[in-house]
Amino acid sequence: MVDNFDLVCEWLDKQRLDDDLDGTRNDGDVWYIQLLRRQSDDPMTNGIPDPAYHGNMHSRSLKDYLIHSSDKLRELKHEITTLCNAFNVRAYVRLNKRNYKNISLRMLKDIATKVESGGTYCSPYHLVASANGGVCQARKKKVWLLDLDAEYLPFENDIIDMVLQCEPHKSNLENWKNPAPILTLSDEDAKKTYLARSFFTLPSKSGKHIHCKPFSKAVFKKLWEEYTKKNLITAPLPQVKFEPEMLHFSMTGKYLKKTKDFAEICKKFADNVKVDKIDKNKNIVHANIVSFDALEKEWRKYCLENEFWMKCFDIHPDNPTLLFCP
């Protein structure tokens, strides 16, 4: 279970205080909460997601909320957690605020576009969720989400250091070393103070979500590529689901083109290997692996020989972060 209610409430209180101090508070400002059932939480048959639950969709929404304060979030905690536990769904919140006026304007625009196009009409219910998700009003206070799964956590401190080498964080950190004419902070104290002020971390289902102000993705990805190559950080094994007599490896993203090679490696440690093509973006390799440790060693050897380094984690400009997971 992951329960981030208290941490998110602290974040909302801090945002409200900042808005009051700089005069940007608006009574119509809200935060968007979604109760979502992820495809990864669905039952599987022989390692393949049951299409009866999602079809080709990655998630389905149970209920949405727009809340205007931490007090409202605390009031809703019992209802949200009860629904999550009853329906095995997760609660997510977007830390970048929305605004009722802009949500309404987006809905009107979407309706007008649909009317003008003369296309086929469908259920209008999705318009609310679409508008809620698409109208970020955080402006200069916008934060990005760095989605670190478990395999990235050993490199967390180095990842943050690389972010601090990207603008505008690089210049902002320099400014923190001299916060006042008569005060100078050491590099360590300035960094500690800046991180406490500018970075916000929440536990996720399988790692951490680090939130910070936007930065140069191009510079960061170059630093990440150099870092993984210099330190020989190879791609980990593909995401795997365990069953008593079979392992199911999900081949997506950069792993997709490695499906054939990975299946051949699995055959060294299994007498039953099968590949299923789920769609154009995903294959699943099924294998009754005898020695998982031996497979890991052989996979690392393959990655070193082929310079197949760990990919950069996902960096999201406005994605929801985890509020509660049963």
pLDDT computed for residue 182 by the predictor: 61
The vertex-229 CA angle with 224 and 233, nearest 5°, equals 85
In a domain, 311, yes or no: no
Quick one: 94 and 39 in the same domain? Answer: yes
Q: How many CB atoms lie within 10 A of CB 173?
A: 18
What is the distance, to the nearest Å, from the Cα of residue 64 to the centroid of all Cα atoms in its chain? 19
Cα 243 from Cα 240, distance rounded (Å): 10
* DSSP classification of residue 236: P
Q: Which of 250, 229, 230 is nearest to 241 (CA)?
A: 250
> Which helix (H) or strand (E) element contains residue 36?
strand 29-38
Regarding pTM above 0.95, the answer is no
Quick one: 296 and 171 in the same domain? Answer: no
Quick one: 10 and 74 in the same domain? Answer: yes
* DSSP classification of residue 255: G
Q: Packing angle between helix 187-198 and helix 156-164, nearest 10 degrees?
A: 100
18: three-class secondary structure by DSSP: helix
pLDDT computed for residue 53 by the predictor: 59
Cα 42 from Cα 44, distance rounded (Å): 6
Q: Packing angle between helix 187-198 and helix 169-176, nearest 10 degrees?
A: 120
Q: What is the DSSP string of 189-233?
A: HHHHHHHHHH-EEEE-SSEEEEEE----HHHHHHHHHHHHHHTT-
Checking phi first, is residue 120 left (phi over 0); if not, alpha (psi -120 to 50) or beta? beta
Count structural domains, the chain: 3
Which structural domain range is residue 132 located in? 2-139+319-325
Tokens of 149: 């799964």
Quick one: 29 and 14 in the same domain? Answer: yes
Quick one: 19 and 51 in the same domain? Answer: yes
Quick one: 89 and 162 in the same domain? Answer: no
In a domain, 278, yes or no: yes
Backbone CA torsion sign across 232, 235, 237, 240: positive
pLDDT computed for residue 204 by the predictor: 96
In a domain, 312, yes or no: no
Quick one: 30 and 112 in the same domain? Answer: yes
Quick one: 17 and 127 in the same domain? Answer: yes
pLDDT computed for residue 82 by the predictor: 98
pLDDT in tens, the chain (326 residues): 999 999 999 999 999 988 888 888 888 999 999 999 876 666 666 666 666 655 555 677 889 999 999 999 999 999 999 999 999 999 999 999 999 999 999 999 988 888 888 766 677 778 888 889 989 988 889 999 999 999 999 999 999 999 999 999 999 998 888 766 667 778 888 899 999 999 999 999 999 999 999 999 999 999 999 999 999 999 999 999 998 889 999 999 999 999 999 999 999 999 999 999 998 999 999 999 989 999 999 999 999 999 999 999 999 999 999 999 99
Cα 113 from Cα 168, distance rounded (Å): 37
pLDDT computed for residue 223 by the predictor: 98
Backbone angles phi, psi at 182, to 5 degrees: -105, 10
Quick one: 93 and 218 in the same domain? Answer: no
Quick one: 14 and 36 in the same domain? Answer: yes
In a domain, 209, yes or no: yes
Quick one: 56 and 151 in the same domain? Answer: no
Quick one: 218 and 274 in the same domain? Answer: no
In a domain, 314, yes or no: no
User: Domain boundary at 194, 210, 232, which?
Assistant: 232
Cα 164 from Cα 195, distance rounded (Å): 9
